[in-house]
Chains A and B, each alone.
Chain A
Protein backbone atom coordinates (compact mmCIF):
# COMPACT_ATOMS: atom_id res chain seq x y z
CA UNK A 1 0.00 0.00 0.00
CA UNK A 2 2.69 2.43 1.08
CA UNK A 3 4.79 1.47 -1.92
CA UNK A 4 2.02 2.39 -4.33
CA UNK A 5 1.06 5.55 -2.49
CA UNK A 6 3.79 7.54 -4.24
CA UNK A 7 2.60 6.49 -7.70
CA UNK A 8 -1.03 7.03 -6.88
CA UNK A 9 -0.33 10.50 -5.53
CA UNK A 10 1.60 11.34 -8.69
CA UNK A 11 -1.36 10.25 -10.82
CA UNK A 12 -3.71 12.32 -8.67
CA UNK A 13 -1.40 15.31 -9.09
CA UNK A 14 -1.39 14.82 -12.88
CA UNK A 15 -5.19 14.80 -12.93
CA UNK A 16 -5.49 17.88 -10.73
CA UNK A 17 -2.86 19.76 -12.76
CA UNK A 18 -4.72 18.81 -15.96
CA UNK A 19 -7.94 20.18 -14.51
CA UNK A 20 -6.34 23.42 -13.35
CA UNK A 21 -4.58 23.83 -16.70
CA UNK A 22 -7.85 23.60 -18.64
CA UNK A 23 -9.54 25.89 -16.12
CA UNK A 24 -6.84 28.54 -16.45
CA UNK A 25 -6.81 28.31 -20.24
CA UNK A 26 -10.55 28.81 -20.18
CA UNK A 27 -10.28 31.85 -17.90
CA UNK A 28 -7.55 33.39 -20.04
CA UNK A 29 -9.71 32.82 -23.09
CA UNK A 30 -7.50 30.42 -25.03
CA UNK A 31 -10.31 27.85 -24.93
CA UNK A 32 -13.47 29.37 -26.39
CA UNK A 33 -16.90 27.78 -26.60
CA UNK A 34 -16.02 25.91 -29.79
CA UNK A 35 -12.79 24.53 -28.37
CA UNK A 36 -14.60 23.52 -25.20
CA UNK A 37 -17.11 21.48 -27.18
CA UNK A 38 -14.22 19.76 -28.95
CA UNK A 39 -12.63 19.09 -25.58
CA UNK A 40 -15.83 17.58 -24.16
CA UNK A 41 -16.34 15.40 -27.24
CA UNK A 42 -12.74 14.19 -26.94
CA UNK A 43 -13.44 13.36 -23.29
CA UNK A 44 -16.58 11.41 -24.15
CA UNK A 45 -14.72 9.57 -26.90
CA UNK A 46 -11.99 8.65 -24.41
CA UNK A 47 -14.61 7.17 -22.06
CA UNK A 48 -16.19 5.18 -24.89
CA UNK A 49 -12.91 4.05 -26.40
CA UNK A 50 -11.29 2.92 -23.15
CA UNK A 51 -14.34 0.72 -22.55
CA UNK A 52 -14.10 -0.73 -26.05
CA UNK A 53 -10.35 -1.17 -25.66
CA UNK A 54 -11.05 -3.32 -22.59
CA UNK A 55 -13.27 -5.56 -24.74
CA UNK A 56 -11.14 -5.63 -27.91
CA UNK A 57 -7.64 -4.98 -26.65
CA UNK A 58 -7.57 -6.80 -23.34
CA UNK A 59 -10.13 -9.58 -23.56
CA UNK A 60 -9.57 -10.00 -27.30
CA UNK A 61 -13.27 -10.08 -28.23
CA UNK A 62 -14.09 -8.17 -31.39
CA UNK A 63 -17.21 -6.10 -30.69
CA UNK A 64 -18.80 -3.83 -33.29
CA UNK A 65 -21.78 -2.90 -31.13
CA UNK A 66 -20.48 -0.28 -28.76
CA UNK A 67 -22.90 2.37 -29.99
CA UNK A 68 -25.85 0.23 -28.92
CA UNK A 69 -24.80 0.32 -25.28
CA UNK A 70 -24.01 4.00 -25.62
CA UNK A 71 -27.58 4.50 -26.87
CA UNK A 72 -29.05 2.69 -23.87
CA UNK A 73 -27.10 4.94 -21.49
CA UNK A 74 -28.00 8.08 -23.43
CA UNK A 75 -31.72 7.35 -23.62
CA UNK A 76 -32.09 6.14 -20.04
CA UNK A 77 -30.34 9.13 -18.53
CA UNK A 78 -32.06 11.57 -20.90
CA UNK A 79 -35.50 10.27 -19.92
CA UNK A 80 -34.67 10.36 -16.21
CA UNK A 81 -33.10 13.83 -16.28
CA UNK A 82 -36.08 15.14 -18.21
CA UNK A 83 -38.25 13.97 -15.31
CA UNK A 84 -35.84 15.07 -12.56
CA UNK A 85 -33.79 17.99 -13.97
CA UNK A 86 -31.14 18.33 -11.27
CA UNK A 87 -27.86 16.77 -10.16
CA UNK A 88 -29.66 13.96 -8.36
CA UNK A 89 -31.49 13.05 -11.55
CA UNK A 90 -28.20 13.01 -13.43
CA UNK A 91 -26.65 10.60 -10.91
CA UNK A 92 -29.76 8.44 -10.94
CA UNK A 93 -29.81 8.51 -14.76
CA UNK A 94 -26.17 7.50 -14.96
CA UNK A 95 -26.63 4.63 -12.53
CA UNK A 96 -29.83 3.43 -14.22
CA UNK A 97 -28.23 3.71 -17.67
CA UNK A 98 -25.18 1.74 -16.59
CA UNK A 99 -27.31 -0.91 -14.90
CA UNK A 100 -29.61 -1.34 -17.89
CA UNK A 101 -26.73 -1.39 -20.35
CA UNK A 102 -24.86 -3.92 -18.21
CA UNK A 103 -27.99 -6.06 -18.00
CA UNK A 104 -28.47 -6.05 -21.78
CA UNK A 105 -24.77 -6.81 -22.24
CA UNK A 106 -25.10 -9.73 -19.85
CA UNK A 107 -28.14 -11.16 -21.63
CA UNK A 108 -26.55 -10.69 -25.04
CA UNK A 109 -23.04 -11.61 -24.01
CA UNK A 110 -23.62 -15.03 -22.47
CA UNK A 111 -24.83 -16.65 -25.69
CA UNK A 112 -22.93 -14.58 -28.28
CA UNK A 113 -19.50 -14.57 -26.67
CA UNK A 114 -19.23 -18.24 -27.60
CA UNK A 115 -18.76 -17.05 -31.18
CA UNK A 116 -15.29 -16.07 -32.22
CA UNK A 117 -13.64 -13.39 -34.28
CA UNK A 118 -15.65 -11.91 -37.10
CA UNK A 119 -18.79 -13.85 -36.25
CA UNK A 120 -18.85 -12.15 -32.85
CA UNK A 121 -18.27 -8.79 -34.51
CA UNK A 122 -21.23 -9.21 -36.79
CA UNK A 123 -23.47 -10.54 -33.99
CA UNK A 124 -22.69 -7.56 -31.74
CA UNK A 125 -23.25 -5.23 -34.67
CA UNK A 126 -26.65 -6.89 -35.11
CA UNK A 127 -27.48 -6.37 -31.44
CA UNK A 128 -26.59 -2.68 -31.66
CA UNK A 129 -28.73 -2.29 -34.77
CA UNK A 130 -31.66 -4.03 -33.08
CA UNK A 131 -31.34 -1.64 -30.12
CA UNK A 132 -31.30 1.30 -32.53
CA UNK A 133 -34.34 0.06 -34.46
CA UNK A 134 -36.29 -0.53 -31.23
CA UNK A 135 -35.56 3.05 -30.16
CA UNK A 136 -36.61 4.19 -33.58
CA UNK A 137 -40.04 2.66 -33.06
CA UNK A 138 -40.83 3.10 -29.37
CA UNK A 139 -43.17 5.83 -28.22
CA UNK A 140 -41.26 6.69 -25.05
CA UNK A 141 -38.09 7.41 -27.06
CA UNK A 142 -40.07 9.62 -29.45
CA UNK A 143 -39.26 7.54 -32.53
CA UNK A 144 -36.91 8.73 -35.27
CA UNK A 145 -37.08 12.37 -34.10
CA UNK A 146 -35.39 11.45 -30.83
CA UNK A 147 -35.34 13.40 -27.59
CA UNK A 148 -34.58 17.09 -27.31
CA UNK A 149 -34.51 19.74 -24.58
CA UNK A 150 -32.53 17.41 -22.38
CA UNK A 151 -31.32 19.48 -19.40
CA UNK A 152 -27.64 20.28 -19.73
CA UNK A 153 -26.30 18.89 -16.47
CA UNK A 154 -22.90 17.85 -17.79
CA UNK A 155 -20.29 20.52 -18.40
CA UNK A 156 -16.66 19.94 -19.18
CA UNK A 157 -15.64 19.44 -15.53
CA UNK A 158 -18.21 16.66 -15.07
CA UNK A 159 -16.92 15.02 -18.23
CA UNK A 160 -13.33 15.45 -17.02
CA UNK A 161 -14.23 13.83 -13.71
CA UNK A 162 -15.80 10.85 -15.46
CA UNK A 163 -12.86 10.48 -17.85
CA UNK A 164 -10.63 10.16 -14.79
CA UNK A 165 -13.02 7.82 -12.95
CA UNK A 166 -13.59 5.40 -15.85
CA UNK A 167 -9.89 5.32 -16.66
CA UNK A 168 -9.01 4.57 -13.03
CA UNK A 169 -11.66 1.85 -12.95
CA UNK A 170 -10.51 0.19 -16.17
CA UNK A 171 -6.78 0.49 -15.57
CA UNK A 172 -7.11 -0.92 -12.06
CA UNK A 173 -9.26 -3.73 -13.39
CA UNK A 174 -6.62 -4.58 -16.00
CA UNK A 175 -3.84 -4.57 -13.40
CA UNK A 176 -5.75 -6.72 -10.93
CA UNK A 177 -5.84 -10.50 -10.68
CA UNK A 178 -9.11 -10.42 -12.63
CA UNK A 179 -7.49 -8.34 -15.35
CA UNK A 180 -4.74 -10.91 -15.76
CA UNK A 181 -7.40 -13.59 -16.13
CA UNK A 182 -9.06 -11.50 -18.87
CA UNK A 183 -5.74 -11.04 -20.67
CA UNK A 184 -4.96 -14.74 -20.44
CA UNK A 185 -8.19 -15.37 -22.36
CA UNK A 186 -6.95 -13.03 -25.07
CA UNK A 187 -3.56 -14.73 -25.33
CA UNK A 188 -4.77 -18.31 -25.56
CA UNK A 189 -8.22 -19.53 -24.63
CA UNK A 190 -7.24 -23.17 -24.37
CA UNK A 191 -4.17 -22.53 -22.25
CA UNK A 192 -6.18 -20.19 -20.01
CA UNK A 193 -8.93 -22.75 -19.59
CA UNK A 194 -6.48 -25.48 -18.67
CA UNK A 195 -5.04 -23.20 -15.98
CA UNK A 196 -8.47 -23.01 -14.40
CA UNK A 197 -9.62 -19.68 -15.82
CA UNK A 198 -13.34 -19.70 -16.56
CA UNK A 199 -13.09 -18.14 -20.02
CA UNK A 200 -16.80 -17.49 -20.61
CA UNK A 201 -17.10 -15.75 -17.24
CA UNK A 202 -14.19 -13.39 -17.87
CA UNK A 203 -15.21 -12.61 -21.42
CA UNK A 204 -18.70 -11.70 -20.20
CA UNK A 205 -17.33 -9.62 -17.31
CA UNK A 206 -15.09 -7.60 -19.64
CA UNK A 207 -17.98 -7.17 -22.07
CA UNK A 208 -20.38 -6.02 -19.34
CA UNK A 209 -17.84 -3.62 -17.87
CA UNK A 210 -17.17 -2.17 -21.33
CA UNK A 211 -20.91 -1.79 -21.92
CA UNK A 212 -21.37 0.01 -18.60
CA UNK A 213 -18.67 2.56 -19.45
CA UNK A 214 -20.25 3.01 -22.87
CA UNK A 215 -23.47 3.93 -21.05
CA UNK A 216 -21.57 6.61 -19.10
CA UNK A 217 -20.27 8.02 -22.38
CA UNK A 218 -23.76 7.96 -23.87
CA UNK A 219 -25.32 9.66 -20.84
CA UNK A 220 -22.74 12.46 -20.89
CA UNK A 221 -23.21 12.85 -24.65
CA UNK A 222 -26.98 13.20 -24.23
CA UNK A 223 -26.65 15.68 -21.40
CA UNK A 224 -24.01 17.85 -23.07
CA UNK A 225 -25.39 17.90 -26.63
CA UNK A 226 -29.00 18.05 -25.31
CA UNK A 227 -30.54 16.25 -28.29
CA UNK A 228 -30.29 12.59 -29.22
CA UNK A 229 -31.81 10.59 -32.06
CA UNK A 230 -31.54 6.88 -32.87
CA UNK A 231 -29.41 7.62 -35.92
CA UNK A 232 -26.67 9.08 -33.69
CA UNK A 233 -26.03 5.55 -32.51
CA UNK A 234 -25.76 3.66 -35.80
CA UNK A 235 -23.00 1.44 -37.09
CA UNK A 236 -20.98 4.53 -37.99
CA UNK A 237 -20.70 5.53 -34.33
CA UNK A 238 -19.47 2.05 -33.35
CA UNK A 239 -16.94 2.26 -36.17
CA UNK A 240 -15.77 5.71 -35.06
CA UNK A 241 -15.04 4.37 -31.57
CA UNK A 242 -13.33 1.32 -33.07
CA UNK A 243 -11.14 3.62 -35.18
CA UNK A 244 -9.94 5.42 -32.02
CA UNK A 245 -9.06 2.11 -30.35
CA UNK A 246 -7.21 0.67 -33.33
CA UNK A 247 -5.47 3.87 -34.26
CA UNK A 248 -4.16 4.38 -30.73
CA UNK A 249 -2.93 0.84 -30.50
CA UNK A 250 -5.01 -2.15 -29.43
CA UNK A 251 -4.34 -2.84 -25.77
CA UNK A 252 -2.88 0.56 -24.93
CA UNK A 253 -4.98 2.95 -22.83
CA UNK A 254 -2.42 5.71 -23.38
CA UNK A 255 -2.79 5.09 -27.11
CA UNK A 256 -6.56 5.49 -26.82
CA UNK A 257 -6.02 8.89 -25.20
CA UNK A 258 -3.57 9.97 -27.88
CA UNK A 259 -5.78 8.78 -30.74
CA UNK A 260 -8.92 10.39 -29.30
CA UNK A 261 -7.08 13.69 -28.90
CA UNK A 262 -5.41 13.51 -32.35
CA UNK A 263 -8.68 12.65 -34.11
CA UNK A 264 -10.60 15.27 -32.14
CA UNK A 265 -8.10 17.98 -33.06
CA UNK A 266 -7.95 16.76 -36.67
CA UNK A 267 -11.71 17.05 -36.83
CA UNK A 268 -11.59 20.56 -35.39
CA UNK A 269 -8.93 21.71 -37.87
CA UNK A 270 -10.74 20.11 -40.80
CA UNK A 271 -13.97 21.97 -39.98
CA UNK A 272 -12.61 24.80 -42.14
CA UNK A 273 -12.45 22.60 -45.22
CA UNK A 274 -16.20 22.14 -45.64
CA UNK A 275 -17.13 19.19 -47.79
CA UNK A 276 -13.51 18.22 -48.30
CA UNK A 277 -13.30 17.47 -44.56
CA UNK A 278 -14.33 13.81 -44.68
CA UNK A 279 -12.17 13.16 -47.74
CA UNK A 280 -9.09 14.41 -45.90
CA UNK A 281 -10.13 12.55 -42.75
CA UNK A 282 -10.42 9.23 -44.57
CA UNK A 283 -7.11 9.81 -46.37
CA UNK A 284 -5.44 10.48 -43.01
CA UNK A 285 -6.99 7.30 -41.65
CA UNK A 286 -5.72 5.16 -44.55
CA UNK A 287 -2.24 6.67 -44.45
CA UNK A 288 -1.84 6.23 -40.69
CA UNK A 289 -2.92 2.59 -40.90
CA UNK A 290 -0.72 1.83 -43.92
CA UNK A 291 2.39 3.36 -42.37
CA UNK A 292 1.73 2.46 -38.72
CA UNK A 293 -0.39 -0.73 -38.73
CA UNK A 294 0.05 -1.38 -34.99
CA UNK A 295 -1.49 1.97 -34.15
CA UNK A 296 0.15 5.19 -33.03
CA UNK A 297 1.57 3.76 -29.82
CA UNK A 298 1.34 -0.01 -30.34
CA UNK A 299 1.03 -1.57 -26.90
CA UNK A 300 3.20 1.07 -25.22
CA UNK A 301 1.76 2.38 -21.98
CA UNK A 302 2.68 5.51 -20.06
CA UNK A 303 3.77 4.51 -16.56
CA UNK A 304 4.65 6.75 -13.63
CA UNK A 305 6.30 3.82 -11.89
CA UNK A 306 8.73 3.32 -14.76
CA UNK A 307 9.76 6.97 -14.67
CA UNK A 308 10.38 6.76 -10.94
CA UNK A 309 12.46 3.59 -11.33
CA UNK A 310 14.48 5.22 -14.08
CA UNK A 311 15.09 8.33 -11.99
CA UNK A 312 16.12 6.18 -9.06
CA UNK A 313 18.49 4.16 -11.22
CA UNK A 314 20.05 7.39 -12.41
CA UNK A 315 20.36 8.68 -8.85
CA UNK A 316 22.08 5.49 -7.74
CA UNK A 317 24.58 5.53 -10.57
Chain B
Protein backbone atom coordinates (compact mmCIF):
# COMPACT_ATOMS: atom_id res chain seq x y z
CA UNK B 1 0.00 0.00 0.00
CA UNK B 2 2.70 2.48 0.96
CA UNK B 3 4.54 1.98 -2.35
CA UNK B 4 1.33 2.80 -4.18
CA UNK B 5 0.97 6.02 -2.18
CA UNK B 6 4.65 6.80 -2.67
CA UNK B 7 4.39 6.35 -6.44
CA UNK B 8 1.25 8.46 -6.39
CA UNK B 9 3.23 11.32 -4.85
CA UNK B 10 6.07 10.91 -7.36
CA UNK B 11 3.63 10.67 -10.23
CA UNK B 12 1.76 13.78 -9.18
CA UNK B 13 4.87 15.92 -8.97
CA UNK B 14 6.10 14.73 -12.37
CA UNK B 15 2.59 15.13 -13.75
CA UNK B 16 2.32 18.70 -12.54
CA UNK B 17 5.38 19.63 -14.65
CA UNK B 18 3.80 18.01 -17.70
CA UNK B 19 0.57 19.80 -16.88
CA UNK B 20 2.30 23.21 -16.73
CA UNK B 21 3.84 22.58 -20.14
CA UNK B 22 0.66 21.12 -21.61
CA UNK B 23 -1.26 24.26 -20.62
CA UNK B 24 0.97 26.34 -22.88
CA UNK B 25 0.46 23.95 -25.78
CA UNK B 26 -3.25 23.85 -25.35
CA UNK B 27 -3.72 27.62 -25.05
CA UNK B 28 -1.75 28.30 -28.21
CA UNK B 29 -3.53 25.51 -30.02
CA UNK B 30 -6.91 26.73 -28.85
CA UNK B 31 -6.31 30.23 -30.16
CA UNK B 32 -4.41 29.77 -33.45
CA UNK B 33 -4.62 25.99 -34.04
CA UNK B 34 -0.84 25.73 -34.12
CA UNK B 35 1.15 22.89 -32.56
CA UNK B 36 3.87 25.05 -31.07
CA UNK B 37 6.80 22.66 -31.30
CA UNK B 38 9.11 25.29 -29.83
CA UNK B 39 7.22 25.25 -26.52
CA UNK B 40 9.48 22.58 -25.00
CA UNK B 41 12.48 24.75 -25.84
CA UNK B 42 10.99 27.75 -24.09
CA UNK B 43 10.98 25.54 -21.02
CA UNK B 44 14.68 24.89 -21.64
CA UNK B 45 15.26 28.67 -21.88
CA UNK B 46 13.52 29.06 -18.51
CA UNK B 47 15.80 26.50 -16.92
CA UNK B 48 18.91 28.19 -18.37
CA UNK B 49 17.72 31.59 -17.19
CA UNK B 50 17.25 30.19 -13.70
CA UNK B 51 20.72 28.66 -13.84
CA UNK B 52 22.24 31.94 -14.97
CA UNK B 53 20.59 34.29 -12.49
CA UNK B 54 21.14 32.00 -9.52
CA UNK B 55 24.82 31.52 -10.36
CA UNK B 56 25.69 35.01 -11.59
CA UNK B 57 23.40 37.31 -9.71
CA UNK B 58 22.87 35.07 -6.66
CA UNK B 59 19.10 35.20 -6.88
CA UNK B 60 17.20 33.13 -4.38
CA UNK B 61 14.47 30.76 -5.52
CA UNK B 62 11.43 33.04 -5.79
CA UNK B 63 13.09 35.90 -7.71
CA UNK B 64 14.67 33.32 -10.01
CA UNK B 65 11.31 31.68 -10.66
CA UNK B 66 9.51 34.94 -11.32
CA UNK B 67 12.27 36.43 -13.48
CA UNK B 68 12.37 33.20 -15.51
CA UNK B 69 8.65 33.51 -16.08
CA UNK B 70 9.01 37.11 -17.25
CA UNK B 71 11.97 36.24 -19.47
CA UNK B 72 10.15 33.32 -21.08
CA UNK B 73 7.02 35.38 -21.59
CA UNK B 74 9.12 37.91 -23.50
CA UNK B 75 10.81 35.17 -25.51
CA UNK B 76 7.43 33.68 -26.41
CA UNK B 77 6.06 37.02 -27.56
CA UNK B 78 9.14 37.74 -29.66
CA UNK B 79 9.03 34.30 -31.30
CA UNK B 80 5.36 34.74 -32.08
CA UNK B 81 5.97 38.19 -33.54
CA UNK B 82 8.90 37.19 -35.76
CA UNK B 83 8.09 33.64 -36.80
CA UNK B 84 4.38 32.92 -36.49
CA UNK B 85 2.67 36.24 -37.15
CA UNK B 86 3.79 36.45 -40.81
CA UNK B 87 2.20 33.04 -41.33
CA UNK B 88 -1.15 33.86 -39.74
CA UNK B 89 -3.06 33.37 -43.01
CA UNK B 90 -0.96 30.59 -44.52
CA UNK B 91 -1.72 26.87 -44.45
CA UNK B 92 -1.43 25.51 -40.92
CA UNK B 93 1.21 23.00 -41.88
CA UNK B 94 3.54 25.82 -42.99
CA UNK B 95 3.24 27.36 -39.53
CA UNK B 96 3.94 23.93 -38.03
CA UNK B 97 7.18 23.59 -40.01
CA UNK B 98 8.16 27.10 -38.90
CA UNK B 99 7.55 26.06 -35.30
CA UNK B 100 9.82 23.05 -35.84
CA UNK B 101 12.40 25.42 -37.32
CA UNK B 102 12.20 27.69 -34.27
CA UNK B 103 12.62 24.66 -32.05
CA UNK B 104 15.76 23.59 -33.96
CA UNK B 105 17.06 27.15 -33.80
CA UNK B 106 16.63 27.43 -30.03
CA UNK B 107 18.17 24.01 -29.37
CA UNK B 108 21.14 24.46 -31.67
CA UNK B 109 21.59 28.14 -30.96
CA UNK B 110 21.86 27.41 -27.25
CA UNK B 111 24.24 24.50 -27.95
CA UNK B 112 26.34 26.79 -30.11
CA UNK B 113 26.44 29.67 -27.64
CA UNK B 114 26.72 27.79 -24.37
CA UNK B 115 27.99 24.33 -25.50
CA UNK B 116 25.83 21.26 -25.27
CA UNK B 117 27.31 20.03 -22.00
CA UNK B 118 25.03 18.91 -19.22
CA UNK B 119 25.39 21.24 -16.26
CA UNK B 120 24.16 20.87 -12.74
CA UNK B 121 21.50 23.25 -11.58
CA UNK B 122 22.40 25.23 -8.43
CA UNK B 123 20.51 23.91 -5.45
CA UNK B 124 19.08 27.09 -3.95
CA UNK B 125 16.79 25.18 -1.62
CA UNK B 126 18.21 22.56 0.70
CA UNK B 127 16.43 19.25 0.18
CA UNK B 128 14.41 18.09 3.16
CA UNK B 129 12.51 14.84 3.37
CA UNK B 130 9.20 14.72 5.18
CA UNK B 131 7.80 11.43 6.36
CA UNK B 132 4.05 11.23 6.40
CA UNK B 133 3.40 7.80 7.78
CA UNK B 134 5.21 5.51 5.37
CA UNK B 135 5.29 8.02 2.50
CA UNK B 136 8.36 10.16 1.91
CA UNK B 137 7.94 13.48 0.20
CA UNK B 138 10.71 16.00 -0.35
CA UNK B 139 10.17 19.71 0.06
CA UNK B 140 10.99 20.16 -3.64
CA UNK B 141 8.25 17.77 -4.71
CA UNK B 142 5.88 19.65 -2.44
CA UNK B 143 7.06 22.96 -3.89
CA UNK B 144 6.54 21.72 -7.46
CA UNK B 145 3.03 20.55 -6.66
CA UNK B 146 2.04 23.72 -4.83
CA UNK B 147 3.58 26.13 -7.35
CA UNK B 148 1.99 24.33 -10.29
CA UNK B 149 -1.42 24.18 -8.70
CA UNK B 150 -1.28 27.85 -7.71
CA UNK B 151 -0.23 28.79 -11.25
CA UNK B 152 -3.03 26.71 -12.72
CA UNK B 153 -5.60 28.37 -10.48
CA UNK B 154 -4.19 31.79 -11.40
CA UNK B 155 -4.42 30.90 -15.07
CA UNK B 156 -8.00 29.78 -14.68
CA UNK B 157 -8.81 33.09 -12.92
CA UNK B 158 -7.13 35.12 -15.68
CA UNK B 159 -9.04 33.29 -18.37
CA UNK B 160 -12.41 33.31 -16.66
CA UNK B 161 -12.41 36.63 -14.81
CA UNK B 162 -10.34 39.21 -16.67
CA UNK B 163 -11.17 41.12 -19.80
CA UNK B 164 -8.11 39.76 -21.58
CA UNK B 165 -9.21 36.24 -20.71
CA UNK B 166 -12.59 36.92 -22.17
CA UNK B 167 -10.88 38.18 -25.32
CA UNK B 168 -8.79 35.00 -25.47
CA UNK B 169 -11.87 32.84 -25.27
CA UNK B 170 -13.61 34.94 -27.90
CA UNK B 171 -10.71 34.72 -30.35
CA UNK B 172 -10.44 30.97 -29.92
CA UNK B 173 -14.15 30.51 -30.71
CA UNK B 174 -14.23 32.76 -33.76
CA UNK B 175 -11.38 35.12 -34.61
CA UNK B 176 -13.27 37.08 -37.28
CA UNK B 177 -16.29 37.69 -35.09
CA UNK B 178 -14.02 38.72 -32.23
CA UNK B 179 -12.34 41.28 -34.47
CA UNK B 180 -15.72 42.64 -35.52
CA UNK B 181 -16.63 43.47 -31.94
CA UNK B 182 -13.37 45.31 -31.43
CA UNK B 183 -10.99 42.76 -29.97
CA UNK B 184 -7.38 43.30 -30.99
CA UNK B 185 -6.50 39.83 -32.24
CA UNK B 186 -2.74 40.35 -32.47
CA UNK B 187 -2.52 41.61 -28.92
CA UNK B 188 -4.68 38.77 -27.64
CA UNK B 189 -2.51 36.17 -29.36
CA UNK B 190 0.66 37.79 -28.01
CA UNK B 191 -0.86 37.70 -24.53
CA UNK B 192 -1.65 33.99 -24.95
CA UNK B 193 1.95 33.25 -25.94
CA UNK B 194 3.18 35.29 -22.97
CA UNK B 195 1.00 33.34 -20.53
CA UNK B 196 1.88 29.92 -21.96
CA UNK B 197 5.59 30.69 -22.11
CA UNK B 198 5.61 32.03 -18.56
CA UNK B 199 4.21 28.71 -17.34
CA UNK B 200 6.88 26.87 -19.35
CA UNK B 201 9.56 29.06 -17.77
CA UNK B 202 8.29 28.21 -14.30
CA UNK B 203 8.31 24.51 -15.23
CA UNK B 204 11.91 24.86 -16.42
CA UNK B 205 13.17 26.28 -13.13
CA UNK B 206 11.21 23.71 -11.12
CA UNK B 207 12.51 20.76 -13.13
CA UNK B 208 16.05 22.10 -12.89
CA UNK B 209 15.69 22.08 -9.14
CA UNK B 210 14.10 18.62 -9.12
CA UNK B 211 16.41 16.73 -11.52
CA UNK B 212 19.44 18.90 -10.82
CA UNK B 213 20.71 18.84 -14.42
CA UNK B 214 19.99 20.94 -17.50
CA UNK B 215 21.18 20.88 -21.12
CA UNK B 216 20.10 22.57 -24.38
CA UNK B 217 18.22 19.50 -25.61
CA UNK B 218 16.30 18.95 -22.37
CA UNK B 219 13.11 20.43 -23.83
CA UNK B 220 12.63 17.92 -26.62
CA UNK B 221 11.21 14.89 -24.82
CA UNK B 222 9.13 16.69 -22.16
CA UNK B 223 7.84 18.97 -24.90
CA UNK B 224 6.51 16.03 -26.89
CA UNK B 225 5.17 14.36 -23.75
CA UNK B 226 3.38 17.55 -22.74
CA UNK B 227 1.87 17.79 -26.18
CA UNK B 228 0.67 14.21 -25.84
CA UNK B 229 -0.80 15.22 -22.49
CA UNK B 230 -2.64 18.12 -24.08
CA UNK B 231 -4.06 15.86 -26.79
CA UNK B 232 -4.98 13.20 -24.26
CA UNK B 233 -7.01 15.65 -22.20
CA UNK B 234 -8.59 17.25 -25.27
CA UNK B 235 -6.47 19.85 -27.00
CA UNK B 236 -7.63 23.44 -26.66
CA UNK B 237 -9.19 22.78 -23.25
CA UNK B 238 -7.42 24.16 -20.17
CA UNK B 239 -8.75 21.59 -17.64
CA UNK B 240 -8.01 18.87 -20.21
CA UNK B 241 -4.35 19.82 -20.37
CA UNK B 242 -4.00 19.72 -16.60
CA UNK B 243 -5.78 16.38 -16.40
CA UNK B 244 -3.72 14.94 -19.27
CA UNK B 245 -0.48 16.05 -17.61
CA UNK B 246 -1.33 14.34 -14.34
CA UNK B 247 -2.54 11.18 -16.12
CA UNK B 248 0.72 10.87 -18.07
CA UNK B 249 2.85 11.56 -15.01
CA UNK B 250 0.99 8.87 -13.08
CA UNK B 251 1.16 6.30 -15.91
CA UNK B 252 4.89 6.87 -16.31
CA UNK B 253 5.69 6.41 -12.65
CA UNK B 254 3.35 3.43 -12.39
CA UNK B 255 5.03 1.64 -15.32
CA UNK B 256 8.42 2.47 -13.89
CA UNK B 257 7.46 1.16 -10.47
CA UNK B 258 6.28 -2.10 -12.01
CA UNK B 259 9.76 -2.58 -13.47
CA UNK B 260 9.12 -1.87 -17.15
CA UNK B 261 10.92 1.46 -17.34
CA UNK B 262 12.24 0.64 -20.84
CA UNK B 263 8.66 0.54 -22.07
CA UNK B 264 7.45 3.61 -20.17
CA UNK B 265 7.06 5.83 -23.25
CA UNK B 266 5.53 3.00 -25.28
CA UNK B 267 2.83 2.54 -22.65
CA UNK B 268 2.11 6.28 -22.63
CA UNK B 269 1.63 6.27 -26.41
CA UNK B 270 -0.42 3.07 -26.34
CA UNK B 271 -2.77 4.60 -23.74
CA UNK B 272 -2.98 7.75 -25.86
CA UNK B 273 -3.94 5.79 -28.98
CA UNK B 274 -6.50 3.70 -27.11
CA UNK B 275 -8.11 6.77 -25.55
CA UNK B 276 -8.21 8.54 -28.91
CA UNK B 277 -9.91 5.52 -30.46
CA UNK B 278 -12.63 5.59 -27.84
CA UNK B 279 -12.82 9.37 -27.51
CA UNK B 280 -11.45 10.90 -30.74
CA UNK B 281 -11.27 14.39 -29.24
CA UNK B 282 -9.50 13.49 -25.99
CA UNK B 283 -10.85 12.71 -22.52
CA UNK B 284 -12.68 15.99 -21.98
CA UNK B 285 -13.16 16.90 -25.63
CA UNK B 286 -16.63 17.20 -27.03
CA UNK B 287 -17.42 15.46 -30.26
CA UNK B 288 -18.68 18.15 -32.58
CA UNK B 289 -21.25 16.81 -35.00
CA UNK B 290 -20.42 17.63 -38.57
CA UNK B 291 -23.13 19.37 -40.51
CA UNK B 292 -23.30 19.22 -44.28
Contacts and interface: CB of A to CB of B under 8 A. Distances in A.
How many residues of B sit at the interface, in one of the four size bands? Answer: 35 or more
A111 interface: yes
B133 interface: no
| A119, A121, A295: residue with the most chain B Cβ atoms closer than 10 Å | A119
Interface stretch (A155-163, A166-174, A280-288): A280-288
A246 B93 CA distance: 7
Contacts of B263: 133, 137
Contacts of B281: 119
Interface residues of A, number: 43
Given A126-B228, A190-B290, A293 B101 contact: no
Interface stretch (B45-53, B83-91, B148-156): B83-91
B227 A122 contact: yes
A32 B145 CA distance: 58
Nearest to A191: B292
B112 A279 contact: yes
| B100, B265, B281: residue with the most chain A Cβ atoms closer than 10 Å | B100
Interface stretch (A76-84, A90-98, A235-243): A235-243
Contacts of B83: 286, 290
Interface string B73-100: 0000000000100110011011111101
Given A118-B231, A122-B228, A246-B94, A112 B273 contact: yes
A134 B270 CA distance: 12
29 contacts: A62-B93, A118-B231, A119-B281, A122-B228, A122-B272, A122-B276, A123-B272, A125-B224, A126-B273, A129-B266, A130-B270, A133-B265, A243-B97, A246-B94, A275-B108, A275-B111, A278-B107, A278-B108, A281-B108, A282-B102, A282-B104, A283-B101, A285-B101, A286-B105, A289-B87, A290-B86, A293-B91, A293-B94, A295-B94
Contacts, number: 120
Given A122-B231, A127-B269, A275-B112, A235 B224 contact: yes
Dominant secondary structure at the A interface: helix
Given A137-B263, A293-B87, 6 more contacts: A119-B281, A119-B282, A121-B35, A279-B105, A281-B108, A289-B101
